[in-house]
Structure 1
Amino acid sequence: MSALRIRRTGRARSSRLTLGVVVVTLFGALLAGCSSSVYETTALPSPSAAPTTAAPSASPTSPPACANPLASYAPPPAGFKGMLQSPDISNIEKRGRLIVGVSADTLLLGARNPISGKVEGFDIDMAHLVAKAIFGDANKLELRVITAADRIPVLQDKSVDLVARNMTINCARWAQIGFSAEYYRSGQKVLVPLDSTATSLADLAGKRVCAPAGSTSLDKLKDFPKVIAVSAPTHTECLVRFQQAAVDAITGDDTVLAGLVAQDPYAKVVGKAFTSEPYGLGMNKEHTDLIRFVNYVLAQAEADGSWKASYDKWLAAALGPAPAPPVANYGRG
């Protein structure tokens, strides 16, 4: 029997999809990896713009004040094999599987394939890389489907080892959990109806704009007080409400919105990215050895082409050619 298991969990639940949404979701999933004629591709914020140095910590195990949220823990200089004896990793190895919190409805990043039934995407590939480094088998995973709001709680209570769910690294979250080095740089945009003349959130005064609860996308709506912010458990629930005319627009990372456009031919993504969203893999803040281990895995993936191969498979058609991977910052020791 395969070691790959998928389990539904979470404190917040999405409502049931209407039949029409199910149809476009399946259709969109079949088109995953295909470009959309209505998706306006714009350059992502440059990873090189991120600081590459940070104040050193007094102790490798005591993080400094969050002067730079992109600063993570340095991988072991002698490689990862010596770290397999660390309780952070040996406990996972003894269990026989890596437990990862993921999305199952974010097309291109983490979504259930309607044909195979497997959850797949760019974020899922990152989780497979970690499992392969621990076990020599990329499929020794238990994927637990969570909402955006679940990401921090499931790491704090240690019910998952890792969260791979398009999670923005910031100082507020570092106070609660730990992060890998940045593995992708996204940016927030807005999705509107195909016939809309809006080109940005600034054009949506008085309109209802949806974003997931617990997301930086929802937080950013505070900067647009004339917009009516509407929260939902997931971006898929936002899409349901959009298709039912219960909201007028959706905001989120361009990676996520590209997947929504692939599911709805009557939607488009407009404007330039107005935020910079550095993605990190989330872990419990006590598990610094696991963070170091994951940073080694990510660095190897960038060096051997695995990172680019995953980008090309999932994101290139919608977002353009692969950028250079983000520059890792190991300022926490």
Structure 2
Amino acid sequence: MAAACTLALLGALVPLQDDPAPLSAGRPAQVTWAQYAATQDGSGTCTQPERSLDPNLGSTTGAAVARIRKYGKLKVGVDQNSYLWGFRDPATGDLAGFDIDLVKAIAKDILGDENAVQYLTVPTADRIKDIKSGAVDMVVRTMTINCERLKDVAFSTAYFTAGQQILTSGGSSITGFDDSLRGRTVCTATGSTGQKKLQGDRHGADVMLVANQLDCLVQLQLHLADAVFTDNALGAGQAAQDPAVHLVGKTVTDEPYGVAMNLADTDLVRRVNKVLNAYRADGSWQASYHHWLEADLPGIKPPVPLYK
């Protein structure tokens, strides 16, 4: 519990190496939502948000990639509080996890060095803001691809699929995302898909909002919340940190995770999709999954990439 509480105190957009330089200069005009969404199915309606730009049908070495190479580092918004995904390894002091492995593969491809990364911690609610402002080149932080977010940012193809699920303490009478939540306090992160789902149907629960999902685990441990509503992928990591909590019920959403980038950086989107194709094909995805996630989330395969 002490380790979890310590991690949860880590804050907002914080440079983990040197200070970032603005990225907005030299960017082409922002692509509009209408232009972007219309490519989903030809009707202008977003029906399959996980479809991304085909790396074989456009440049992967344009202005955005040139900007990153000129700066010499890839600026990436990450989480350092999500065990197994993006967290500070207490044994080494380094960032580690499934998301961090992917960041290193992208940096290796663009800059030739997996360590040529400037990591910045980004709270859940600030991910889109920091991409649009140019504070980061991309966010790799268990970020769900959905139609609403495509209004503001572009995504790679999906690199993992999760689902919202209830995490609660052992001995709790809560059975899942159902009416057993009535009168209970459910914690979720501000700006998360969990918050959006609870806005539509909270099953009579009181909703507690926090900056990061790990803060919810602390609230659960302190008995200030009765349950956490989060991606089962993150919930599995929290359960691995604290054996006194566990996931209950079924997943109630589909949450394809993608690398989020600026809408204008189409060459970077294609470049990341190219990296993901190789990452799936050469066994790197499977090796990272086996190391970090398989014990707690067995039987998962890499998502098949979908293109526009």
Residue number in structure 1 paired with 2:36? none
TM (norm. structure 2) is 0.85
Of the three residues 22, 27, 34, the one matched with 2:3 is 22
Q: 1:215 corresponds to which residue?
A: 192
Aligned to 1:39: none
Matches within 5 A, 1:113-152: 113-152=89-128
Q: Which residue of 2 aligns with 1:72?
A: 52
CA distance in structure 1 between the partners assigned to 2:229 and 2:151 by the alignment: 26
Q: Does 2:248 align with 1:248? A: no
Instruction: Check the 8 A contact 1:148/1:234 in 2, yes or no.
Output: yes
Asked if residue 297 in structure 1 is aligned to residue 278 in structure 2, the reply is: no
| Corresponding letter in the other structure for 1:76 | N
Counterpart of 2:60?
83
Query: Partner of 2:77 in structure 1?
Result: 101
The answer as to 2:259 corresponding to 1:278 is no
Distance in 1 (CA, whole Å) between partners of 2:6 and 2:173 is 25
Q: What one-letter code is carried by the residue in structure 2 that aligns with 1:256?
A: L
Cα-Cα RMSD: 1.9
In 2, Cα distance between equivalents of 1:77 and 1:185? 25
Cα shift at 1:272: 1.4
Give the Cα–Cα distance (whole angstroms) in 2 for the partners of residues 139 and 65 of structure 1. 40
| Secondary structure of the corresponding residue to residue 302 of structure 2 | coil
What is the CA distance between 1:324 and its match in structure 2? Answer: 2.8
The answer to whether the 8 A contact 1:21-1:240 is kept is no
2:158 is matched by which residue type in structure 1?
E
Cross-structure match for 2:17: none
Q: In structure 2, how many angstroms separate the alpha carbons of the residues matched to 1:293 and 1:65? A: 25
For structure 2, which runs of at least 5 residues remain unmatched after alignment? 8-38
Matching residue's letter, 2:119:
L
Query: Structure 1 residue runs of 4+, over 6 Å off?
Result: 23-26
1:262-277 map, 5 Å:
262-277=240-255
- Structure 2 counterpart SS, 1:171: coil
Instruction: Report whether the alignment pairs 1:288 with 2:266.
Output: yes
- The separation in 2 between residues aligned to 1:174 and 1:117, in whole angstroms, is 34
Distance 1:68 1:135, change over 3 A: same
Alignment-derived partner of residue 111 in structure 1: 87
Shift of 1:227: 1.1
Q: Which residue of 2 aligns with 1:327?
A: 304
Q: Which residue of 2 aligns with 1:188?
A: 164
SS of residue matched to 1:200: coil
Contact 1:186–1:278 (Cα < 8 Å) also in 2: yes
Identity %: 40
Distance 1:326 1:237 in 2: 29
Given residue 125 of structure 1, which amino acid in structure 2 is its aligned partner?
D
Shift of 1:151: 0.5
Mapped partners of 2:100, 2:214: distance in 1: 18
TM-score, with length taken from structure 1: 0.79
Distance 2:136 2:97 in 1: 19
Match status 1:233 vs 2:211:
yes
Matched-pair contact (CA < 8 Å) for 1:180–1:294: yes
Residues 324 and 260 of structure 1, relative CA distance in 2, 3 Å threshold = closer
Please give the per-residue CA displacement for 1:1-48, whole angstroms capped at 9, x wherever unaligned.
Answer: xxxxxxxxxxxxxxxxxxx5337879xxxxxxxxxxxxxxxxxxxxxx
**Runs of 5+ in structure 1 lacking a partner?**
1-19, 27-52, 58-63
SS in 2 for 1:316: coil
